[in-house]
Amino acid sequence: MPKQVDHEQRRRLLAEAVFTVIGTRGFEAVSLRDVAEQAGVSMGTVQYYFPTKQEMLLFALAHMRERVLARLQAAVAALPDPTRRDLVRAATAVMLPVDAPGREEACVNIAFFSAATVTPAYAEQLRDGYGRILTVSVANFREAARRGELRDGVDPDREAPALYFLTQGLVGPVLIGLYRPEEALALVDAQLDRVFR
Amino acid sequence: MPKQVDHEQRRRLLAEAVFTVIGTRGFEAVSLRDVAEQAGVSMGTVQYYFPTKQEMLLFALAHMRERVLARLQAAVAALPDPTRRDLVRAATAVMLPVDAPGREEACVNIAFFSAATVTPAYAEQLRDGYGRILTVSVANFREAARRGELRDGVDPDREAPALYFLTQGLVGPVLIGLYRPEEALALVDAQLDRVFR
DNA sequence: CGTTTTTTCATGCGACTGCATGATAACCGT
DNA sequence: ACGGTTATCATGCAGTCGCATGAAAAAACG
């Protein structure tokens, strides 16, 4: 069996196991033994692919970014002939925990966010990831403005971050059951109505 | 020394120690020994006031709510002859991690938020706390609307949650250094400009 | 086919965890 | 002044943690 395994694929598998553990038992419950059991391998195997727990979690964080990005691109690609507003709305819906994978991703993200407040390596990863998404969002809004799809007097450089952070602020309340996903989406739609023509 | 100690005060002291530990070493690093050392007492004392670690953390979460509320009321009381907009802005500034205590509170809050995704007791506390603040905020906006301080066509029941969740969404990015506090406040001010007359 | 390399596993170790226990000391009421 | 209550502490215990080690198994290569 050895020699012909894809190391990166194996690492991704373990990262997914990390997500499951975080999503079901929480970040603090992540142990090498739990991850191994969740992935269906022995603890030694986990150690074989990650020299340390820290590196495992760091890789998991990086992999999470890729997973969110993939879901985002898939959601965008699923739209036939989308308007700029459709794109923005689809991207927003991906961020919100509306379905099972979205909820797991949100749980994992908030866990890493919390950990990032005391672990600079996580903070750096998150800054980069969120910064990129924000940049794309701003570019999207600018393009919408150029095409005249925005209402008069709407500043794309202001509304793009505003919508983005509104979305981020809705994630937590939805996760703890204070808001239902439909309510969150309704709030986003109301915001879109105010910005788009 | 015994017999005349205020049990609640002692618990609050320990809760503050919990905050410091969470703020400096993270939620997962909270151990009875760390909390005891941070508070300058022995581990047995911590056990004396809290039968279990879970109850200690639950009390800490409740105390955090009171602390935020106290800071909020203090900030509001410090305003001489405030307009409705001043009140909203002051409350928003309290939520954002602009100063040291605000930052610690935000770190602790996000930590409990993360834990709440797998611990229903935390989720319930947070729902109640955030729900209350949201209710007050909506009432504030309605009063502003009644007084005619809002721009035409602004729905207070929509803008109050929108501003609130925008604020919540800004907390994380400020914590990890993606946004500076001034930038976050500028975004809030822009939103206020759009809502208030 | 034998050997080497790659992968997986089981086990052990010291450190740390939450919690239980018994001792010690400090104040109270009388 | 002196038992009794209250508060604090030091220590012990079973369990778990991350990590290190060495063996076993399975393909790759000569």
How buried is residue B86: exposed, middle or buried, by Cβ count under 10 Å (0-12/13-18/19+)? Answer: middle
List beta partners, residue B128. Answer: none
Reported as a pLDDT band with limits 50, 70 and 90, residue A5 is confident
Find all residues with CB under 8 Å of A176, minimum gap 6, and list them: B113, B116, B117, B123, B126, B127, B130
- Tell if the CB–CB gap between A110 and B110 is shorter than 8 Å: yes
Q: Is the pLDDT of residue A78 over 80?
A: yes
Query: Residue B6, CB, less than 7 Å from strand C?
Result: no
Say which residues have a Cβ less than 8 Å from residue A88's Cβ, sequence separation at least 6: A137, A140, A141, A144, A163, A192
| Residue A196 backbone dihedrals phi, psi, to 5 degrees | -90, 150
With CA atoms as reference, report the closest residue to A172 among B130, B28, B186, B88.
Answer: B130
Chain A contacts of B28, Cβ < 8 Å? Answer: 27-28, 115
Return the sign of the alpha-carbon dihedral for residues A157, A158, A162, A165.
positive
Whether B196 contacts chain A with CB within 8 A = no
What residue of B is the nearest CA neighbor of A97?
B117
* H or E stretch at B175: helix B156-175
Task: Choose the mutation target among B165, B189, B191 for the interface with A, i.e. most A CBs under 10 Å.
Answer: B165
Report the nucleotide nearest the CA of residue A5, measured to C1': C7
Q: What is the pLDDT of residue B4?
A: 66
Whether B123 sits inside 8 A of A176 (CB atoms) is yes
Helical axes B120-146 vs B84-95, angle rounded to 10°: 160
The SS3 assignment for B52 reads: coil
A193 Cα to chain B: minimum distance (Å): 12
pLDDT along chain B (197 residues), means of 10: 73 97 96 96 95 97 96 94 94 95 96 97 96 94 94 93 97 97 96 92
Q: pLDDT value at position A3?
A: 59
Confidence of residue A4 (pLDDT cuts 50, 70, 90): low
User: Which residues face A130 on adjacent strands?
Assistant: none
- Measured from the CB, is B48 under 7 Å from any atom of strand D? yes
Nearest CA in chain B to A103: B117
Across the range A18-36, mean pLDDT stands at: 96
Query: A98: Cβ–Cβ under 8 A, 6 or more apart, which residues?
Result: A181, A185
Greatest CA separation for chain A: 64
| Alpha carbon distances (Å) from B33 to A115, B57, B64 | 20, 14, 21
DSSP state of B98: -
* Residue A51 CB in 7 A reach of strand D: yes
Given pLDDT bands bounded at 50, 70 and 90, which one contains residue A6? Answer: confident
* Residue in B111, B118, B171 nearest the CB of A24: B118
Number of H helices, E strands in chain B: 9, 0
Mutate to test the interface with B, among A114, A119, A126, A152 (most CBs of B within 10 A): A114
Per-residue pLDDT at B3:
56
8 Å CB contact between B96 and B171: yes
A131-184: pLDDT as tens digits: 999 999 999 999 999 999 999 989 999 999 999 999 999 999 999 999 999 999
Indicate whether A68 pLDDT > 60. yes
Phi-psi region of A40 (alpha: psi -120 to 50; beta: other; left: phi over 0): left
Which chain A residue shows the shortest CA-CA distance from B192?
A162
Give the C-alpha distances (Å, rounded to integers) separating B164 from A168, B19, B133, B138, B192. 11, 24, 9, 9, 11
Mean pLDDT of chain A: 94
Residue A193 has pLDDT above 80, yes or no: yes
Q: Establish whether the CB of B42 is closer than 7 Å to any nucleic acid atom in strand C.
A: no
- For residue A22, what are the contacts with CB-CB under 8 A and spacing of at least 6? A29, A30, A107, A108, A111
In chain A, residues 114-153 whose CB comes closer than 8 Å to chain B:
114-119, 123, 126-127, 130-131
Q: What CA–CA distance (Å, rounded) separates B29 from B13?
A: 18
- Cα B129 from Cα B149, distance rounded (Å): 27
Write the DSSP symbol of residue B72: H
Confidence of residue A1 (pLDDT cuts 50, 70, 90): very low
Q: How far is A183 from chain B (nearest CA, A)?
A: 11
Helices (H) and strands (E) in chain A, counts: 9, 0
Q: How far is CA A184 from CA A79, A110, A172, B85, in A?
A: 21, 17, 11, 25
The CA–CA distances, whole Å, from A46 to A25, A41, A54, B92 equal 19, 8, 12, 45
Measured at the CA of B133, the angle between CA B129 and CA B135, to 5 degrees, comes to 115
Min distance A167 CA to chain B CA atoms (Å):
7
